[in-house]
Structure 1
């Protein structure tokens, strides 16, 4: 499959707008065994001044990639075991990001199955930790420019995204009532409870 990277100038310089824009785009991972990719079907925005966001208390060594210009990877480890892929979303020096929550697998499905140790297609990249494991994303990719081809990048899809729905975010306690989660309505690869997938 041939796809082209997203162009940074096309990306909205606004976190919520970027979270919506990324629905239907591709995450592409270049591994020694081959290309692994999937359509983004779910995102969450962590906007400027968001108490649930990692940038809320300012820049640190751990979160500095969130303060890069829009379109860079911020990869961190959650719960001591699961990596999470985020995309920086504002102007340089302003900390905010979009969490990529779920993918619909496209290329390299056998590689994803080996990486995850599961066969069920629906569960390969449904949820941010599973997604990172399926694509073998870890802290070494933190800070990477996602707007050009490399080990990990964002690409355009040749299919229409479908109906994009909005809900509150999942699994947070601060600023939990803000409608900042975007997803493809009815897509079986979206994570979360059924009421947040319809």
Structure 2
């Protein structure tokens, strides 16, 4: 009976195997030290991260800077030093208003310091009253300007001059430093406009 078995290589015909590799395996045979380097690097990074977290968690509390101390009232400017009042021009009266009522626009500005409150506006003539819009008291902060409409009402023409070269307004001012009454001379334009309005109010001329 003939039997066929595995073919045996002849003498001197076997293919030589690569040195250092076991037959039938493809496992990496690099030195152990080279394969351990990535593991050591990862372990070092993890240790550094853990140390950073620990240092952050145990860091001492740094106190936040204290807010600036507000200046004492004695270091603040007086209200009359920082307030300016200028004449803008006549303000149109409402339709049907009597000539004894007339109005002007003023601009009040505050240059610096705390906000300033206007508590009163008056004028020196006994025969004339004054009202403001907005009504007093009103406030204006530093760096701002406010338009004020003053309405004058002539009640007695005999006690008001028709020509006043230096008319002024008395304004009472208040801030956290002091309360002051300041007289503001509004210049020749205001003097001319006031004289014209008084002539109309105290005569039969309504134009």
TM-score between both structures, scaled by the size of structure 2: 0.25
TM-score between both structures, scaled by the size of structure 1: 0.26
The structure richer in helix per residue is 2
Higher-Rg member (1/2): 2
